[in-house]
């Protein structure tokens, strides 16, 4: 999906999931349907209003599943001092509109008919339940879900998980870990829990950073290869991807500019690429609808592949070493190194 300018969606409903978590049900107009096609585990970027017209942006995972739920659903858990979560939980009501960027993110299985091991901590269940529902909608595929929470009252989607397990006997196993009962989950306890499932096709982990670190260590001890483990890492955005972007200067007479050839949606475009200009900024300024979401090197929505030449990334908080070896870079953080560069988004 390359059409990435903000869209205005209507809040159809607000669901109180727990005392401190709300789900927003968002309606997508028919004419925007293609732009909001998504994969299970992806997220939306929402604009949070600010004083004097200044806004901020926050990323929230989709708890809905494509082909299963008729509308989009994002679930937000209140965070102490959180600008976005508190504004949403306190202010958003049915009938309001919210500015949204199209779905993005790489926390999504390559295939949905395999056998997955999922770990979620607290509100980390949001993208995980999307994956659960998507797998169960296939003719085959099984899920083991280990879900950690403070206590029983803080379990988001508890009723929905029970219903899913009841409708798909033998395909969904839910293991609840409650701090009020078992204490905080340790790497030792998690390794023992994961050991019987280490041979599964992949593991997806989402939750607070210490929880994810403990799970990753536990899965390694249990014998699951690192390349099969996918962690969802969110970072608070420091900028506003909804704001109007700074103009990019023409580079026709710039001897320091690289010659760029970029393939996007099957079309090849050629530009002069100024040395200090980020690739995404250049493409948007030249009228191309290149994919992006956060614009800060955190989400991989703008990932593209270097076919020839060399670029440098100023920030990379998401791509793994294997991705880099295959030539993948982040368009929002890449500047040219060599005089000629060929890039493909396809």
For 144-190, the pLDDT digits (tens) are 999 999 999 999 999 999 999 999 999 999 999 999 999 998 989 99
Q: Is pLDDT above 80 for 237?
A: no
Mean pLDDT, rounded, for 17-30: 96
A 10 A CB-CB count for 226 gives 10
Same domain, 206 and 130: yes
Residue range 322-339, pLDDT digits in tens: 889 999 999 999 999 999
Same domain, 165 and 199: yes
pLDDT of the residue at 157: 97
Query: What residues contact 116, with CB distance under 8 A and at least 6 apart?
Result: 109, 131, 135, 141, 142, 143, 144, 200, 201, 202, 203, 204
Same domain, 125 and 87: no
**Secondary structure class of 201 (helix, strand, coil):** coil
Same domain, 152 and 78: no
Q: Is pLDDT above 80 for 59?
A: yes
Cβ pair 329, 319 in contact under 8 A: yes
pLDDT of the residue at 239: 65
How far is 286 from 320, CA to CA, in rounded Å?
A: 30
Same domain, 323 and 302: yes
Mean pLDDT, rounded, for 5-17: 93
| Residue 247 located in a structural domain | no
pLDDT of the residue at 2: 37
Same domain, 125 and 83: no
DSSP 314: S
**Secondary structure class of 44 (helix, strand, coil):** strand
Q: Which two tokens stand for residue 156?
A: 């988001």
A 10 A CB-CB count for 306 gives 19
Instruction: Name the residue range of residue 189's domain.
Output: 115-231
Instruction: Give the pLDDT band (50/70/90) at residue 314.
Output: very high
Q: Lowest-confidence range among 199-213, 236-250, 258-272, 314-328? A: 236-250
Instruction: Tell the burial category of 277 from Cβ atoms under 10 Å away from its Cβ (0-12, 13-18, 19+).
Output: buried
Q: Name the β-bridge partners of 115.
A: 142
Q: Is pLDDT above 80 for 53?
A: no
pLDDT of the residue at 3: 44
| Residue 17 located in a structural domain | yes
**Secondary structure class of 160 (helix, strand, coil):** helix
Among 104, 138, 163, where does a domain finish? 104
Q: Please state the domain count of the chain.
A: 3
How far is 312 from 293, CA to CA, in rounded Å?
A: 20
Q: Is pLDDT above 80 for 54?
A: no
Instruction: Give the pLDDT band (50/70/90) at residue 131.
Output: very high
Q: Which two tokens stand for residue 40?
A: 């299970």
| Residue 242 located in a structural domain | no
pLDDT of the residue at 293: 79
| Residue 90 located in a structural domain | yes
Same domain, 153 and 197: yes
> Would you report the helix, strand and coil content of the chain in percent, each value rounded to 5?
25, 30, 40
Same domain, 15 and 82: yes
Cβ pair 147, 156 in contact under 8 A: no
Mean pLDDT, rounded, for 15-27: 96
pLDDT of the residue at 1: 35
Among 183, 214, 231, where does a domain finish? 231
pLDDT of the residue at 4: 52
Instruction: Give the pLDDT band (50/70/90) at residue 231.
Output: very high
Same domain, 87 and 182: no
pLDDT of the residue at 261: 97
Say if pTM beats, i.e. exceeds, 0.75.
Answer: yes
Cβ pair 280, 295 in contact under 8 A: yes
Same domain, 160 and 185: yes
Q: What CATH number is given to the structural domain containing 66?
A: 2.40.30.10
pLDDT of the residue at 296: 83
Helices (H) and strands (E) in the chain, counts: 8, 18
Q: Lowest-confidence range among 50-59, 113-122, 334-343? A: 50-59
| Residue 319 located in a structural domain | yes
Instruction: Give the pLDDT band (50/70/90) at residue 249.
Output: low
Cβ pair 330, 313 in contact under 8 A: yes
| Residue 39 located in a structural domain | yes
| Residue 174 located in a structural domain | yes
A 10 A CB-CB count for 79 gives 14
| Residue 128 located in a structural domain | yes
DSSP string for 260-313? EEEEETTEEEEEEE-TTS-HHHHHHHTT-----SSSSSSS-TTEEEEEES-EEE
Mean pLDDT, rounded, for 43-53: 80
Residues in the chain: 346
């Amino acid at each position: 999906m390359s059409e990435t300018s903000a869209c205005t969606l209507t809040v159809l409903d607000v669901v109180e999931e727990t005392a401190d978590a709300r789900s927003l049900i968002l309606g997508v107009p028919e004419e925007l349907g293609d732009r909001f096609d998504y994969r299970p585990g992806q997220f939306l970027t929402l604009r949070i209003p600010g004083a004097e017209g200044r806004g901020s942006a926050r990323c929230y995972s989709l708890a809905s599943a494509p082909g299963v739920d008729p509308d989009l659903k994002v679930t937000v858990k209140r965070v102490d001092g959180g600008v976005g979560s508190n504004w949403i939980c306190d202010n958003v009501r049915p009938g309001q509109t919210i500015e949204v960027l199209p779905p993005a993110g790489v926390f999504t299985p390559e295939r949905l008919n395999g056998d997955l091991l999922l770990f979620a901590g607290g509100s980390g269940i949001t993208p995980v339940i999307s994956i659960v529902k998507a797998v169960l909608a296939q003719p085959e595929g099984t899920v083991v879900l280990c879900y950690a929470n403070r206590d029983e009252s803080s379990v988001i989607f508890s009723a929905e998980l029970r219903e899913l397990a009841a409708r798909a006997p033998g395909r969904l196993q839910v293991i609840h870990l409650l701090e009020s009962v078992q204490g905080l989950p340790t790497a030792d306890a998690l390794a023992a829990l994961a050991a019987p499932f280490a041979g599964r096709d992949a593991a997806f982990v989402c939750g607070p950073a210490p929880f994810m670190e403990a799970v990753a260590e536990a899965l390694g001890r249990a014998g699951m290869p690192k390349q099969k483990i996918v962690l969802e890492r969110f970072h608070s955005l420091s900028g506003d991807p909804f704001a109007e972007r700074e103009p990019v200067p023409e580079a026709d007479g710039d001897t320091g500019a690289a010659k760029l050839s970029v393939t996007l949606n099957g079309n090849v475009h050629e530009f002069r690429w100024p040395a200090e200009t980020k690739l995404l900024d250049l493409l948007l300024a030249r009228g191309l609808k290149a994919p992006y979401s956060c614009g800060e090197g955190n989400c991989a929505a703008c990932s593209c592949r270097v076919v020839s030449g060399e670029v440098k990334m100023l920030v990379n908080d998401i791509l793994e070493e294997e991705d880099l070896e295959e030539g993948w870079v982040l368009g929002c953080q890449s500047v040219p190194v060599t005089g000629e560069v060929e890039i493909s988004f396809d």
